[in-house]
Structures are given as C-alpha cells and as structure tokens.
Amino acid sequence: AQSVTQLGSHVSVSEGALVLLRCNYSSSVPPYLFWYVQYPNQGLQLLLKYTTGATLVKGINGFEAEFKKSETSFHLTKPSAHMSDAAEYFCAVSVNDMRFGAGTRLTVKP
Amino acid sequence: DVKVTQSSRYLVKRTGEKVFLECVQDMDHENMFWYRQDPGLGLRLIYFSYDVKMKEKGDIPEGYSVSREKKERFSLILESASTNQTSMYLCASSPLQGTGELFFGEGSRLTVL
C-alpha cells in the first residue's frame, strides 16, 4: 500500500520567511498527491493537488508544491509566511484510497 | 459547494456505551470514509465504502463497525466504547471517478471516560 512520510512534526518560521514543509511518498503506481491544511477545531481543507501534467502545482493562499518523481517527494513551499498560515499541514497520497502523513504543525512568529 | 456534515462536534461517553457517529454528504458522492486523527499519528483510515451497503476495512478497523444504508449517509459505530477510542473522528467523501480528492466534515471529538 502507498504511504507518506512528513519530515518534521513542527516547523517554526518568522513572518515573511520562506515556508518549506517536506513530504516523501511511497507508491508502486503513479499516485495522486495532495496537501491539506487544518485550522484548529476544523476539518481538513485542500491546499493543492497533483494528478498528472505539470509537476509544479499552485494552490490556494500562495502555496505551491513540486512533484519530483526521481526523489519521490512533494514538498510544500510558500515564499513569504503570514501569521494566518499557522496551522497543521498534511501530505497525502491516493491510489485506491487516501493515506496521510503524520502532519506538520507550522508556527509563524511575528 | 460540497458539504459533509457530521452530526455531533463533541461527545462524551462512558466506557462500554454504544456510540454512533453520523455523517451525511450532499453531493451524491459514491465514496465515503471514516478516519481517526491523533496527535503525531496523522489520519488513520478506519473504514471506507464505495457504494450503498458496501464496506471495506481500513488500517485500524478493530473495535469499530460501519453502516451505509443510503448513499448520502455513512455511520461509524463503536459497539462498546473504550478509553483508547478517545479521539477526533473525521468523515470524508469523494466521487467515484476523479482525482481522489476528499471532502471533509468538521470532525467529531469523542471523549470516552
């Protein structure tokens, strides 16, 4: 079955700094890849997804991710962090069903 | 917009009680899922369903059962709640054909005393 590893359970950045959240996946077939965000006491919202085609995917709120097949990675980036980006972020891989990573909690310092 | 509604946001139950968590989606999606979310473990798949009256076990089905009598409704049942089932439970749905994107409910936080 497919699986996801998120490197770093907590990431802290200063407001205006680059955000980089790391995700590596394992799958025997070409997967669909996703990043979701969860704000406190809420469900998960889709940030962006990779299905086929262009490997650089742009999502909501200025986030983007690049699918690198050779590295089996799908890292999430944002050039300039905002206080409102503080949340938990989940990487997920989907073949027949969706499997999630353990999550990365992003803290943004003023 | 897709709406996935979980009937209870917060529940407190006692050990041994039977617990029902209800989930309803309004977009005619074929697929429905129940996940459990715990700190440091992410989301773990409990059960999923591709069609009415159909169910498949996920990674952690022990202690749980599900029911899907109607396409829009997917219920998670804890036959005899235990303290280690204290958790956040998330329901999701997706269309059968597509990219596999899931649409989530707000979650049900269950505390078992």
Q: Indicate the SS3 state at residue A29.
A: coil
pLDDT digits (tens, 9 = 90+) for B76-90: 999 999 999 999 999
Cβ within 8 Å, pair A43-B105: yes
Q: Is the pLDDT of residue B1 over 70?
A: no
Q: Is the pLDDT of residue B23 over 90?
A: yes
Half-sphere exposure of B110 (CA within 13 A, CB side): 30
Residue with the two structure tokens 């409704």: B73
Phi, psi of A90 (to 5 degrees): -120, 130
Instruction: Tell me the shortest Cα–Cα distance from A64 to chain B, in angstroms.
Output: 17
Would you write out chain A's pLDDT as a tens digit for each of its 110 residues? 788 999 999 999 999 999 999 999 998 888 899 999 999 878 899 999 998 888 999 999 999 999 999 999 999 999 999 999 999 999 999 887 788 999 999 999 99
Instruction: Tell me the pairing of strands B87-94 and B73-78.
Output: unpaired
pLDDT of residue B53: 87
Residue with the two structure tokens 């303290």: B83
Residue B76 to residue B65: CA distance in whole angstroms: 6
- Count of CB atoms within 10 A of residue B42's CB? 22
Whose CA is closest to B91, among B80, B102, B82? B102
Chains A and B form CB pairs within 8 A to the count of 51
Identify residue A96 by its one-letter amino acid code.
N
Cβ within 8 Å, pair A43-B4: yes
